[in-house]
Structure 1
Amino acid sequence: MMNVELLFAETPVFETERLILRQLDLSDLDAYFEFASDPVVSLHTLWDRHETIVDTESYLQSVVDKHKARQAFRWGIIYKPDQKLIGRTGFISWDLRHSHAEIGFAIGSEYWNKGIITEATEEIIRYGFEHLGLNRIEGRCNYNNTGSARVMEKLGMKLEGILRDQLKIKGTFMNQKLYSILKCDYETDDNEAPFSLLEADQRTYSTYFATYRKNIWFRPSWLFVHNMMLEACNCYWVIQNNQRIAGISIEDNTIGSLFIIPPCDTLSVDLVSFLRDYVLEISTDKNRVEAYNVLHEHMGAFKSVGFDLVSTRKCMIRPTEKISISALNEFISVRPEPEHLSKMVLLMEEAYRGGMEEEDLDTYRRDLTYYFEHNKQEHLVDASTVLIHRETNEIIGLCLVSLWEEIPLIYEIAVTPTYCNQGIGRHMLCKAIHHLESVYEVIRLFVTSGNKAEYLYSSVGFLSGEETSHLVYQGKEK
């Protein structure tokens, strides 16, 4: 059973390198109002902003009353460099019979991203397990409160699930994330070997990457992937217990192409949390991490530590062969030429408007300029198509073929919406498949998941590879 009598007999004060934690009381009125009245602090909290100092006085009186009734215990956080109260942490409720308690915390926004709440609440968790006899400590936060979620993850707490519409907060029913840590987790975490990063020798890294990273983009061979990775940079090993357990590329605010090394066979939430926190620490933007080329089986671990999905795509592949090409009598098929560029830009703007591939005109122009500068081989140009309407002379479709990693790639395909579902896309794809048969064995393309064109590609015989995703973490520690 939880030994709550010890807590009130000792009224413990804790001191860390930067902080003093002591009982919160009415003498903290002015300092507490200073951060509790900040609308930024209360944006994603379970409580409303303190509009007047009377609100703060009422709150602190409730803290004192719950303390007297032995229902809760909150510590004020004193930041030693400024000698002022800047936040609070503590047990906001408990169940004596079942030896569990709930933590809650808040801190002034100017002290976010300094690890202060984590440093303070670590002391509370330690005291709860080592002195009060707690078996379980839990915490909740709004589903969109990435800062508080990140703190609980750094404290070793595990996400148990989502409590749907659990609380009505500021007039709206809100989902709550429920985190917890058990005494056995706490004791295990104390003994668990930490992760570390080691800059990789590129030749060895290339060998491991070619072996353990799935070839989901249908690259030509193991040797091709190995030689390609010799040119890569910013590659690191993830080390635990003096063993390589994973490889990853890391740059400013970016991680990518993670792979796991046997005998390790799963990606843990703790490892993703470690990578996220490391990148935040070394990067210019302390609140954002982009994760690229995340494999489908790794998505759950990334989402558990606050990453959100941006987009998912896959590579598709098909053999080239001599196939029949349907006639399109209304249109003239010509080779793409640089003089078509302006009209091609307008076609892409119209074709992609409102869809998942939509970009601005400058992006379309830049992509097409790059295509013409880097794809001048006759067989690629001959396999490409610009379709022009015989009567209006307008460009109504385009299909551009490039060479990527020694294999042809559908660089761009677009059809004016007016002429969709008339077999034009199929016609252009079949022409590319047919014309390349004598030079290349296969052709590839990329498609964003959810794009309706994926049905067309499958119906023409393209095989889907596995999905990879782009995710982003964005949040502030509170």
Structure 2
Amino acid sequence: MRNWSKNMERYELSEQYYIQRANPEQFSIYESVYGDKNINRFAVKHWDLRTAISLDNPFAKNESYYWIKQDEIIIGGVLIEPNVISRLFFVPPFTKVYDILKLLKRLLIKWSDSSKKIYAYQISPEQFEYFEMLGFLCDKKRRWMMRPTEVFDIVWDDDIITKTPSEDNKQEIAKLLYLSFKGSIDYQHLINELGQEPTVKDYLEEVDEYFDWCKENIFFEASTLIYSKKENKLLGACLVSYCEEWPLVHAIGVNPNYRGRHLASIMLKRALTVLQGKYPVLRLFVTLGNDAESVYHQLGFVKGTEFRKLYIPANE
């Protein structure tokens, strides 16, 4: 079994199976059809974008797309390189998922830096048990949620002032998100990812990303910053951006001292109201176990397919 090289075209998995470098565009078509459940692309309207999303490669450094073949027949595909596996799919009627994954794991172990975790990203429910049977541990469980936009009668408390986010607010929004998420399941996942306690700077990166993604005025209009009149203090923020042709709740947070006043629900209702007429739905991304999931459910957001990030621990 050979070491990994971005110049190598083919790797033998066994006498029967092998992986072979795939043309990225052709790979994206197959993965968009057969791997669709992994990231809920049913909501993406245009085929070109569906395949572009398939080629979006935030987890790996190289275009490491491979066909999984038996003889000369494509039975599946995978994105795989040292310490990373993702985009795994199989072409019906092939069903021997465990057998192939066992061989891919053996290849990963040989390729990878054992002092670092080996990550498996965007794993669908149909594949969970096979990864877990082979020693992968669950790091994070997430899902999309979505609901139709709708006009609501928005009523704020008398001591509330609302503003539209601007880049001048970046630092205070980051501080609010830090306070809002501290102690949550997402905060714990960030500790695991960073190997240390997150800081305001880590949340500032998320706020920067929001302003990079948010290019239409309607998304700024649908976003809300809530201030206390008395203290002129930021109490809550709901940032609405754009992803895969639909509005997305990029981040939402409320100062822990002001929870219980339904501020998050009202901010979401305001976003749904502003967007109605131009966009039919609003989406968000939630970590399973996040207390906010019940808020989204009460507002009529429907659950999409769950998928997970798993890992093999690094050697101490």
TM-score w.r.t. length of structure 1? 0.56
On the 8 A contact 1:388/1:396 being kept in 2, the answer is yes
TM-superposed CA distance for 1:369, in Å, is 1.9
On the 8 A contact 1:387/1:395 being kept in 2, the answer is yes
Give me the whole-angstrom Cα distance separating, in 1, the residues matched to 2:182 and 2:90.
39
Match of 1:217 in 2: 40
TM-superposed CA distance for 1:377, in Å, is 1.8
After superposition, what is the alpha-carbon deviation per residue over 1:364-412, rounded to whole angstroms, capped at 9, x for unaligned? 1111122224324210100000000010111010000011112110000
TM-superposed CA distance for 1:287, in Å, is 6.4
On the 8 A contact 2:31/2:87 being kept in 1, the answer is no
2:132 equivalent among 284, 299, 303: 303
1:102-181 superposed matches below 5 A: none
On the 8 A contact 2:45/2:245 being kept in 1, the answer is no
Match of 2:9 in 1: none
Match of 1:450 in 2: 289
Asked if residue 250 in structure 1 is aligned to residue 80 in structure 2, the reply is: yes
Give me the whole-angstrom Cα distance separating, in 2, the residues matched to 1:315 and 1:253.
26
TM-superposed CA distance for 1:262, in Å, is 0.3
2:16 equivalent among 194, 206, 221: 194
Give me the whole-angstrom Cα distance separating, in 1, the residues matched to 2:55 and 2:170.
36
Give me the whole-angstrom Cα distance separating, in 1, the residues matched to 2:214 and 2:71.
49
On the 8 A contact 1:307/1:472 being kept in 2, the answer is yes
Q: Structure 1's 303 and 231: CA in aligned 2 closer, same or farther, altered over 3 A?
A: closer
Asked if residue 204 in structure 1 is aligned to residue 29 in structure 2, the reply is: no
On the 8 A contact 1:400/1:410 being kept in 2, the answer is yes
Match of 1:337 in 2: 166
After superposition, what is the alpha-carbon deviation per residue over 1:185-216, rounded to whole angstroms, capped at 9, x for unaligned? xxxxxxx8533111112232122112111244
Give me the whole-angstrom Cα distance separating, in 2, the residues matched to 1:287 and 1:357.
21
1:348 equivalent among 169, 174, 177: 177
On the 8 A contact 1:193/1:240 being kept in 2, the answer is no
Q: Which amino acid in 1 is paired with 2:143?
A: K
SS of 1:357's partner is helix
Give me the whole-angstrom Cα distance separating, in 2, the residues matched to 1:373 and 1:295.
29
TM-superposed CA distance for 1:280, in Å, is 2.3
TM-superposed CA distance for 1:243, in Å, is 2.5
On the 8 A contact 1:217/1:465 being kept in 2, the answer is yes
Give 5+ residue unaligned stretches, structure 2: 1-13, 58-62, 188-197
Match of 1:60 in 2: none
Match of 2:192 in 1: none
On the 8 A contact 2:144/2:286 being kept in 1, the answer is yes
Asked if residue 273 in structure 1 is aligned to residue 118 in structure 2, the reply is: no
Structure number with greater CO (CA < 8 Å, separation at least 6) is: 2
Identity score, percent: 29
Match of 1:398 in 2: 237
On the 8 A contact 1:210/1:222 being kept in 2, the answer is no
SS of 1:239's partner is strand
2:247 equivalent among 408, 413, 421: 408
TM-score w.r.t. length of structure 2? 0.84
1:282-431 superposed matches below 5 A: 282-285=111-114, 288-358=117-187, 359-431=198-270
Q: Structure 1's 229 and 299: CA in aligned 2 closer, same or farther, altered over 3 A?
A: closer
The CA RMSD measured in Å over matched residues stands at 2.0
On the 8 A contact 1:293/1:469 being kept in 2, the answer is yes
2:93 equivalent among 260, 263, 269: 263
Give me the whole-angstrom Cα distance separating, in 1, the residues matched to 2:160 and 2:117.
48
On the 8 A contact 2:219/2:240 being kept in 1, the answer is yes
Give me the whole-angstrom Cα distance separating, in 2, the residues matched to 1:475 and 1:373.
34
TM-superposed CA distance for 1:315, in Å, is 0.5
Give me the whole-angstrom Cα distance separating, in 2, the residues matched to 1:444 and 1:217.
11
After superposition, what is the alpha-carbon deviation per residue over 1:327-358, rounded to whole angstroms, capped at 9, x for unaligned? 33221111011222222222112111111122
Give me the whole-angstrom Cα distance separating, in 2, the residues matched to 1:217 and 1:384.
24
Give me the whole-angstrom Cα distance separating, in 2, the residues matched to 1:371 and 1:336.
10
TM-superposed CA distance for 1:231, in Å, is 6.3
Match of 2:6 in 1: none
SS of 1:327's partner is coil
On the 8 A contact 1:280/1:287 being kept in 2, the answer is no
Give me the whole-angstrom Cα distance separating, in 2, the residues matched to 1:231 and 1:415.
31
Give me the whole-angstrom Cα distance separating, in 2, the residues matched to 1:208 and 1:354.
40
Give 5+ residue unaligned stretches, structure 1: 1-191
After superposition, what is the alpha-carbon deviation per residue over 1:297-322, rounded to whole angstroms, capped at 9, x for unaligned? 21111111111010100011111122
Give me the whole-angstrom Cα distance separating, in 2, the residues matched to 1:378 and 1:250.
39
Match of 1:138 in 2: none
